Structure 1
């Protein structure tokens, strides 16, 4: 069963984010707090949305999808960017990951969005195989760039106030 997340789900979403980070060998980078997630998902101006995969028998959450809207200037409409998709190892193979993606695809179709996009680590062969089986195509001609930490701060503070932008 797939359902939209509620504020009561924030602790389990936080735990699932940390499990995903551990799986991706980057637990030290997962510094978001429950309060930050609560504000991002359920604050006055939500920045992201989440859906929960729930075990049909126990009713316990076994996975989640956290996503936000993006926009394509080429297509002129919104799309969904899937930030995180995670299903606990003991629940994998039960259709939860597919059901989460089906729900996001349904939202795209219903709302007129024309893209559902996400990134996957190059070494995550099980995920890559799963996505390919759904008909998703890798965008190999694009390379993701990211500014964080000191590099972001340095660039963001490089221009003095009042100077024209080059």
Structure 2
């Protein structure tokens, strides 16, 4: 049975490994080396800016959702942004991602967020991911771009 609980700074090791799996999958295994455990420790220690939940099967982590808070006029004030959402392949289609999104939605409402945003990966390759978000009630608002600083 899957158990969902809030993420804690002490979860950095396995959160880093889950995010590594996510990035490896998204980037076709061409993942640039990085000390993601140290990065996860730094990110998760920012408890006023980083929020999330982990999904556990027994004691084994099988999924994670991480969010950050933003504020914008177009969003009507405070809003959440999903920065990472990952469920191990063997646990997909079992409701784990949906449970993580439900917890994130509940958390956002409690914080007074007006919306929860997420960037979907490239289409059409990740059509199943887009379909998941649409089935969870998200609506498409256009592509997201970035500028590396």
TM-score band by shorter chain is 0.7 to 0.9
Q: 1:75 to 1:91 in 2, by over 3 A?
A: closer
Q: Which structure features the higher share of strand residues?
A: 2
CA RMSD of aligned residues (A): 1.9
Alignment of 1:101 with 2:135, yes or no, is: no
Offset of residue 49 of structure 1: 2.2
Contact persistence 1:18–1:30 (CA under 8 A): no
Q: 1:29 to 1:78 in 2, by over 3 A?
A: farther
Which structure 2 residues correspond to residues 1-166 of structure 1 after superposition, within 5 A? Answer: 1-25=3-27, 27-29=30-32, 31-43=34-46, 46-55=48-57, 58-121=58-121, 122=123, 123-140=125-142, 143-148=143-148, 152=149
Question: 1 or 2 for the larger relative contact order (CA 8 Å, sep ≥6)?
Answer: 2
Offset of residue 137 of structure 1: 0.8
Gaps in structure 2 of 5+ consecutive residues: none
Larger radius of gyration: 1
Q: How many residues align?
A: 144
Q: 1:32 to 1:117 in 2, by over 3 A?
A: farther
Offset of residue 107 of structure 1: 1.2
Runs of 4+ in 1 over 3 A off after TM superposition: none
Query: Could you say what secondary structure the match of 1:28 adopts?
Result: coil
Offset of residue 135 of structure 1: 1.9
Contact persistence 1:65–1:86 (CA under 8 A): yes
Contact persistence 2:13–2:40 (CA under 8 A): no
Which of 19-28 and 120-129 deviates more?
A: 19-28
Contact persistence 2:52–2:64 (CA under 8 A): yes
Query: Could you say what secondary structure the match of 2:31 adopts?
Result: helix
Gaps in structure 1 of 5+ consecutive residues: 153-166
Q: TM-score, normalised by structure 1?
A: 0.78
